[in-house]
Structure 1
């Protein structure tokens, strides 16, 4: 795990996952995703592998571009290595699979409404 620049232009489309080490959410995991309209989604969860599902701690909220880096810094997030990111997300959040389904549906719907190219 290491430090990462919170930058919308280079942020992965599916976000990044890390462990929060300070503050109110210390010990929980964060999935940080760049959203539309200059906001970031903070998805927070306890590791479901370490407790009972009815006792899981979780939260989510959104922050503006200007505030997101400060919040991540205050949380002292230790980012997962790229090689661990996908497996951790699936085990802890499993949100990305739904995002991928929605994107596929959206691209299918857009392709249905595109007009075929007209030849002159």
Structure 2
């Protein structure tokens, strides 16, 4: 199991996907993303292809910067190969597409309201 350094500066903007192998969420998938206000978002889900959609196991919670590495270690997360990360996220969570739409919308709003001659 590869251990990933968990620092906000180098963590991918779209988070990382992994499989939880220990604890109450063992066997489920984790999408771990950096959030605002010194928090990390833990999005947890079973595999929608292998479960009844009405009983799909899912949860989400936020953890402070100082708690997130311990939680990931306790969950014994096995991180997905980066080459499969996007494919797995779309199949299991499919929330990055909404993040991308929001980012584009926010960038457009900022560009519309940017003062002439000002650089951000």
- 2:79 corresponds to: 79
How far apart, CA to CA, are the structure 2 residues paired with 1:111 and 1:14? 22
- 1:40 corresponds to: 40
Give yes or no for contact 1:38–1:64 (8 Å, CA) kept in 2.
Answer: yes
Residue-pair matches, total: 118
Give yes or no for contact 1:2–1:81 (8 Å, CA) kept in 2.
Answer: no
- 1:100 corresponds to: 100
Distance apart, 1:55 and its partner CA: 1.1
How far apart, CA to CA, are the structure 1 residues paired with 2:47 and 2:2? 19
TM-score, structure 1 normalization: 0.95
TM-score, structure 2 normalization: 0.95
**3-state SS of the aligned residue for 1:49?**
coil
C-alpha RMSD of the superposition: 1.1
4+ long deviations beyond 6 Å: none
Worse-superposed segment, 62-71 or 5-14: 5-14
Bigger Rg over Cα = 1
How far apart, CA to CA, are the structure 1 residues paired with 2:80 and 2:93? 14
Distance apart, 1:77 and its partner CA: 0.1
- 1:64 corresponds to: 64
How far apart, CA to CA, are the structure 1 residues paired with 2:74 and 2:66? 14
